[in-house]
Structure 1
């Protein structure tokens, strides 16, 4: 089915871990890999630690075209990493035991490290950020209220950090647990206006819990750089196809939220306590376990919640031309398993961390 002309635009940022090809340990080579990528026409962003790089897609209206770019980008960056004896892994935390996470030597990152201490030096966490185009910052804040109840489902779907420091964590997304140690991370409050949002951000800056607006690490925020709402709840998905699925789902939720705003339909105001419980369930059990229905706090399998999400946003998915792709991608994901299941299956076969690294490397370039 064709797309409507006014379909929302979408872009994706993927964070990757650079590792030693032999040991799987984090490799502090982001500047070398970024320089090689620059020569290949790819602009990589340097992350907080020197073991990480971030790619940024172009702005897309078509999810198929976005998927094609994500696959090409992963392949080319992996080739640039290999030039410097490093392996690119789409994992949300290092599976092996890291010796250290050296901070990238920029003035801003060094200031963050001085202020936040071990929080910065034990980072090495890789996520995926999806930007959806919206008219203005006020709209970005308000539509976030409609995305907010679905954040745990998105987290469970993309969980990709079950193994850390050579051991099972007991969680599908250990990154999510570690990430929420930051004072500005996790699910955002329910905001009534842009003024409401900016007042809380100003308080956080004044208190020192953030150093600048870019340190607003909530899982939904109006972008500081683009006319978009940015959703940042996800682990870096194991495969490019899963990142494209995530982008399609988020665009569908945002589009549905905009329609609700136009109809003056209020967003579900989930309490912080319920949302925190749902986050924990999503991080703990991932797509293969149970979550919480936001409407009535009932325990429901995450797979059923994911199906309910697709039903909820079906009109938006049909209008964007994404419905067929989303349904097929979810069926494939449930059949094969997300990154967390891949990691656990690989580890439990022989209890050898090398198998986890090898499986993660295969998933990183799957279809690329």
Structure 2
């Protein structure tokens, strides 16, 4: 079934790390890579860490449109990085060092470093943010209230950060664990409306917990600039295909939540401790392990919870014309493994963390047009060599994205 033109529009932001194409270590080159991209007509945004960049699609009306944009952006980023002898990698946390990074030379980020210290210098985490058009900010709040139970399942599905500075953390999404050190992260509270949301945000600014509204990092939030709701619970997916599946799934969740709100069906209330348990299990186990059913608190296979989530929005997926693609994408992930599983398999195969980086870099460019890195052909698994003396082990800025059109649901 083809996608319907009356489905709410979507847009996606992806964050990437810049690494040395030979050692796999982080490169603090986002300003230089951004300048190269600008000369190519591509708008990249620096992130908090100088080793990070973010891409943003325009307004997309179908999965095909989104995939084309994502591939174009990843290809353009790779070329800009190549010109600065870097390589972009779609992983949730740095696989190799250094463990302390430079903060981007952006006034707001410098202010964050002054206030939050080592948190800013050890950030380096990469997520994926999906924007879906909604009628207004109150609608975005109602969506957030209704998506809370499903956020752990989205996290488990996209877990892509088990290896951090050369060590297996034991968690499928170490990014999620690190992210929770910041204020205003994790699942959003339940709000009555946008007015209450604004009041709570202002109180956090007034007491100095956050610098500004853009530091509200809850996993669902109304956009501050676009007529969208932003879902930001996920690790950056390893491939563009996985990002498209995530966006279509999120689109279905938002359509279902909007319909439930309009028809007066109340949001399912999940107590905070139950939701936190589900979050922790999702971050720890990912797609391949167990998850906590937020409605019953029972442990069940995480993939069963993802299937249950898809079943709950089946009508919306059918109406959007995306059900077949979403189900096929899930089956592929179960068969091939999550990003976390694939990183661990790369580490077991080659036994060096640098091989994990190059494997992830190759997956980042899957389906993209990429020139070889400066200085030779693109390295393959096993070609990275850690610097002498090492054993091989070792938030968020402004994105200019056109406003999606209001949804028709």
State the TM-score, normalized to the length of structure 2: 0.88
**Could you say which residue in structure 2 is the equivalent of 1:301?**
301
Partner-residue secondary structure (3-state), 1:287: coil
Deviation track 1:74-118 (CA, whole Å, cap 9, x = no partner) reads 112111101100010001111012153101111111001000111
Quote the Cα distance in structure 1 between the aligned partners of 2:313 and 2:146.
11
**Shift of the alpha carbon at 1:45?**
0.8
Task: Work out which structure has the larger RCO, using CA pairs closer than 8 Å and 6 or more positions apart in sequence.
Answer: 2
Deviation track 1:146-186 (CA, whole Å, cap 9, x = no partner) reads 11111000000000100001110000000100000001111
1:79 correspondence with 2:87: no
Structure 2 counterparts to residues 246-257 of structure 1, below 5 A: 246-257=246-257
Count residues in correspondence: 368
Partner-residue secondary structure (3-state), 2:141: helix
**Could you say which residue in structure 2 is the equivalent of 1:271?**
271
**Could you say which residue in structure 2 is the equivalent of 1:66?**
66
2:5–2:61 contact (8 Å) kept in structure 1: no
Q: Which stretch of the first structure deviates more once superposed, 229-238 or 194-203?
A: 194-203
**Could you say which residue in structure 2 is the equivalent of 1:11?**
11
**Shift of the alpha carbon at 1:354?**
1.7
- For structure 2, which runs of at least 5 residues remain unmatched after alignment? 369-409
Quote the Cα distance in structure 2 between the aligned partners of 1:84 and 1:280.
38
Quote the Cα distance in structure 2 between the aligned partners of 1:61 and 1:318.
15
Structure 1 runs (4+) greater than 6 angstroms displaced: none
Quote the Cα distance in structure 1 between the aligned partners of 2:3 and 2:154.
24
Q: Tell me the C-alpha RMSD between the 2 structures.
A: 1.0
Quote the Cα distance in structure 2 between the aligned partners of 1:316 and 1:295.
21
Deviation track 1:188-213 (CA, whole Å, cap 9, x = no partner) reads 11111112211111111111111100
Partner-residue secondary structure (3-state), 1:88: strand
Quote the Cα distance in structure 1 between the aligned partners of 2:19 and 2:43.
20
**Could you say which residue in structure 2 is the equivalent of 1:88?**
88
State the TM-score, normalized to the length of structure 1: 0.98
2:134–2:228 contact (8 Å) kept in structure 1: yes
Quote the Cα distance in structure 2 between the aligned partners of 1:138 and 1:115.
31
Quote the Cα distance in structure 2 between the aligned partners of 1:164 and 1:314.
36
Quote the Cα distance in structure 2 between the aligned partners of 1:81 and 1:149.
39
Deviation track 1:222-243 (CA, whole Å, cap 9, x = no partner) reads 0111110001100011111111
Structure 2 counterparts to residues 302-321 of structure 1, below 5 A: 302-321=302-321
**Shift of the alpha carbon at 1:351?**
2.0
Structure showing the higher helix proportion among its residues: 1
